Chains A and B, each alone.
Chain A
């Protein structure tokens, strides 16, 4: 029983981290390729385009955060691990999902928006921050996913 009850929430933590990391990797990949194309023409833009390329990186961090919150909740790092029953295990598992899935999809799409922003900033450098703001619009839903996970984990009584 105990083996199972730990495996379930750990699976949740793992999902949160890797789904979000997945999204961020694809997102940064898309934006980074677009930026490299611009840099081949105009290497001076490195600093300013860095912002757009880095933007889809936050989803991965939120996912990691979600994962760590689960680990803290379980008390796996130092201290005595919490006693769990099967219901609580599943609760923690599902609580970890919002951040994982929201970050996954939002990371991919933020990457696309940022890549378009890169193309825009290449032609008109003064529009850079506008591209960044549009990128941040996509991130909202990753943040909402994170908020849901935090609140759900907070609410689960162990």
Chain B
């Protein structure tokens, strides 16, 4: 139940070594640095100057140049695999390798060369876009056999170049029929809607024609100013595009030779970014003429090692524990020693941290999460696949993922799925029933592990879901009660969650006695407990109110809250629905695969394809569903019964490395 105890400490160092100390603190990754100006220290020492914000323009510019080079390089490299797209592989280095690259590698040539290439490529790409525009414009006019620049009015002739809709063209020929002698209309081309026209008229009638055309919606052709004939220009542009594409290709090929520098650039990027972080956090430090004050939070359990490490490396350094003022609320870190519980911390962290006065809910929800996840899938074979997959991920990306809790959580989910699947007899759905007779042993084994068949005994499955839900809700109320008692508020505990616990359980006993599960005596007892509890809720919900009327009104309203408990329990039915859904979809996949098996020649191949793809899809979609809905049950049904939250997560000052991991030899 552990929320780590936090200590606030103050570190005093000489300003000469300040930079090195900060770098070391960043490497140790244990101290969450706070702003000295906002702490008690500042109140007592108003003369303390806050650290000067160093102008970080220089390093920032260098960093952004490296970043854009990396962007450029990743745009020319070959496509990555799907897995490395999801989990980008990191560069794993020993401290010595890292140091030597950071000190010796000079990025200037690569960066400036890549910049040139990038620029050239951008220009070419925009040239291609422009040319494509020209081609689009020219296409309808290809049949025009004269240079575009030369088209214009002469002494006696006016020329109109443009488009009319086909309908308008008909109108036009009709209305201009008496002018035909002084006019030539040539249709250069036409498509389904428009005709592209060259109209030459004598200057005398030009105003009338112009007016007529305007009325009919004549659109003047916006043609590029080109000296050649459309056909020639068109071909020219096509050729140009080809050449440009060719050149772009060459540039990209050429850039590939810089890909070998990519790794070094990435390492340098992380290094510079780390430095930048160090420089930026300086604003939070306090400074006197000679000394520098660093303040921050550290988990109690880490303090001793932290102190020893720093003291060993630096002579002029003092670490002083502080008494934080009331408004300085410590950050929250979860600290569970058991391997089984630790992955479940991620559930709490996703929701939000508990505050410093309450329990860490992770160990409390762990068993429920475990069971629920499996129940949502209920297929042992799927469970085996999920377990193996995450086991593989844990081993393959051991360093990259660190101790990624989510992977561990899903690994446990896989194990739970195996157990729940075996219990309900799901092995790739009903695959067992397709097995040939000589594999009867397998079928018997499945049956011997199976506790109930969810397809046949639907009510059993529903019962399990409801019982689990009811248990978790009562458990949540119980946790709240225990916590209130531990805090010393006995009255609150017995007026708040306690009557609800007795009311709910009383009702259940009463209901079950009606179903002949319990004797009428127990049922009667349940009934009276429930009635008394309901009375208690009405009377005790609002104890602070002065008027009895308001008190009882609020109490009755409080009792109305029982509907939400009913809703909560029903919400757990999703376990049943999701569990059954997986089984039925698996059945359908088997059915379809089996139908195709009868196909001539390729039957078995089709069978294998449908079988594999179908079940993979089912695992994916139901795995997602199981995870999301199990989370939801914790957050929406379980947490509100006892959880307050509102803690700020503990974020130690550390290097945010995007590409690299520095590992000691033993870690790899």
Give A residues with C-beta under 8 Å from B. 44, 46-47, 51, 54-55, 57-58, 61-62, 64-65, 68-69, 77, 129-130, 132-133, 135-137, 139-140, 143-144, 146-147, 150-151, 154
Contacts and interface: CB of A to CB of B under 8 A. Distances in A.
A139 B573 CA distance: 13
Given A47-B86, A58-B625, A69 B584 contact: yes
A143 B376 CA distance: 12
A133 B584 contact: no
24 contacts: A44-B88, A55-B624, A61-B581, A61-B585, A64-B585, A65-B581, A68-B584, A68-B588, A77-B591, A129-B631, A132-B631, A133-B628, A133-B631, A133-B635, A133-B636, A139-B629, A140-B571, A140-B574, A143-B577, A143-B578, A146-B577, A146-B581, A147-B574, A150-B458
B621 interface: yes
Given A62-B581, A147-B576, A150-B580, 12 more contacts: A44-B88, A47-B85, A47-B86, A64-B588, A65-B584, A68-B588, A129-B631, A136-B631, A140-B571, A144-B570, A144-B573, A154-B458
B439 interface: no
Contacts of B571: 140
Contacts of A147: 573-574, 576-577
Nearest to B629: A136
Contacts of A77: 591
Contacts of B458: 150-151, 154
A133 B577 contact: no
B605 to A, nearest CB: 23
B350 interface: yes
Given A54-B621, A147-B573, A65 B585 contact: yes
B398 interface: no
Given A46-B85, A55-B628, A68-B584, A129 B577 contact: no
B646 to A, nearest CB: 15
Contacts of B574: 140, 143, 147
Interface size class of B (residues with CB under 8 A): 20 to 34
Nearest to A44: B88
A57 B625 CA distance: 10
Nearest to B567: A140
Contacts of B581: 61-62, 65, 146
B632 interface: yes
Interface in B571-604: 571, 573-574, 576-578, 580-581, 584-585, 588, 591
B201 to A, nearest CB: 50
Contacts of A69: 584
Nearest to B570: A144
B621 A57 contact: yes
A132 B628 contact: yes
Contacts of B576: 147
B452 to A, nearest CB: 15
Nearest to A47: B86
Interface in B315-335: none
A16 B580 CA distance: 17
Interface string B161-180: 00000000000000000000
A58 B621 contact: yes
Contacts of B577: 62, 143, 146-147, 150
Contact of B632 (A54, A62, A133, A154): A133
Given A65-B581, A68-B588, A151-B458, A54 B624 contact: yes
Contact of A137 (B573, B591, B625, B636): B636
A117 B624 CA distance: 16
Given A47-B85, A58-B621, A150-B577, A129 B585 contact: no
- For A46, A68, A135, A150, the residue with the greatest tally of chain B CB atoms inside 10 Å of its CB is A150
B632 A137 contact: yes
A61 B628 CA distance: 16
Nearest to A77: B591
A30 B577 CA distance: 26
- For A55, A137, A143, the residue with the greatest tally of chain B CB atoms inside 10 Å of its CB is A143
B461 to A, nearest CB: 10
Interface string B549-580: 00000000000000000000011011011101
A54 B632 CA distance: 17
Interface string B622-647: 00110011011001100000000000
Contacts of A144: 570, 573
A129 B573 CA distance: 22
A146 B85 CA distance: 36
Contacts of B588: 64, 68
Contacts of B573: 143-144, 147
A135 B571 CA distance: 15
Contacts of A137: 632, 636
Contacts of B584: 65, 68-69
A158 B588 CA distance: 22
A150 B625 CA distance: 18
Interface string B449-462: 00000000010000
Nearest to B594: A78
Nearest to A128: B350
Contacts of A46: 85-86
Contacts of B578: 143
A53 B631 CA distance: 18
Q: List the 9 closest pairs (A to B, CB-CB), nearest first.
A: A47-B86, A129-B350, A136-B632, A136-B628, A143-B574, A143-B577, A147-B577, A146-B577, A147-B573
A28 B584 CA distance: 23
Nearest to A151: B458
A48 B458 CA distance: 35
Interface in B330-357: 350
Contacts of A64: 585, 588
A145 B591 CA distance: 25
Nearest to A51: B624
A61 B85 contact: no
Nearest to A126: B350
Contacts of A154: 458
A85 B178 CA distance: 80
Contacts of B580: 150
B639 to A, nearest CB: 11
B592 to A, nearest CB: 10
A76 B580 CA distance: 20
B335 to A, nearest CB: 21
- For B574, B577, B636, the residue with the greatest tally of chain A CB atoms inside 10 Å of its CB is B577
Contacts of A150: 458, 577, 580
Contacts of B629: 136, 139, 143
A130 B591 contact: no
A65 B591 CA distance: 14
Contacts of B350: 129-130
Contacts of A151: 458
A112 B314 CA distance: 57
Nearest to B346: A129
Contacts of B591: 77
A157 to B, nearest CB: 14
B228 to A, nearest CB: 38
Contacts of B88: 44
Nearest to B458: A154
A151 B570 CA distance: 14
Contacts of A143: 573-574, 577-578, 629
